[in-house]
Homo-oligomer: A and B are copies of this chain.
């Protein structure tokens, strides 16, 4: 989620968490990270999102943020353990970076010769460390969002050549999304309407909860609602979002 005003994700997370063991078999842990200014709240759990006590807190406690990344894990590589739960977090240039990956990279372990090393043993954390290593080599300090986007557009295809590489990345300033096989986006803006979850029999009317200037961008590998206009990414597309809309 990326938005132009601090927004809570309790409604979306209700449906999303059902996929962690109920409506889908992503039962090998989950995680979520909320930026608040440059600060970060990071929750990971190796229990199923469908019935984790921490997921229950997230469903009911409206943490407001402009950049949120959540993930439910179906282990393809790496054991079921806390250190293998996405999203992963590292610091670079005095900002936290958060990364979640959907997919599977076969026998791809690019060389890590700098200062980022995986704690767990997933392909995902390994390529996140590689991405940060290459960003750090490409820029002496924090570049602009558009410069970072150009660098990421060079780096992503080098990874995507080795398997499925749908990912979300944020530093709290922008949210980058790359599709290799499947990723959808939805923008909610004025006039806000009623949304109906895919994974649970629940509707919400956003109209009384929002103002005319609010913009909220949602990204998911499968649409989260049945009655809204989710748009599919093309294969190989990398987009960047700030303030609830695509940054061009």
Contact = CB atoms under 8 A, between A and B. Distances in A.
Contact of A57 (B37, B57, B83, B91): B57
A38 B119 contact: yes
Interface stretch (A20-28, A93-101, A206-214, A215-223): A93-101
Contacts of A84: 39
A195 interface: no
A119 B94 contact: yes
Copies of this chain, count: 2
A150 interface: no
A108 interface: no
A82 B44 contact: no
B38 A41 contact: no
A115 B117 contact: no
A36 B119 contact: no
Contacts of A96: 119
A82 B120 contact: no
B119 A82 contact: no
A74 interface: no
Contacts of A53: 57, 61
Interface in A161-214: none
17 contacts: A36-B46, A37-B82, A37-B83, A39-B44, A39-B81, A39-B85, A39-B119, A39-B120, A40-B44, A41-B43, A41-B44, A41-B82, A53-B57, A54-B61, A95-B119, A114-B115, A115-B115
Q: Which 8 A-B pairs have the closest CB atoms?
A: A39-B82, A39-B83, A94-B117, A115-B115, A38-B83, A36-B82, A53-B61, A38-B119
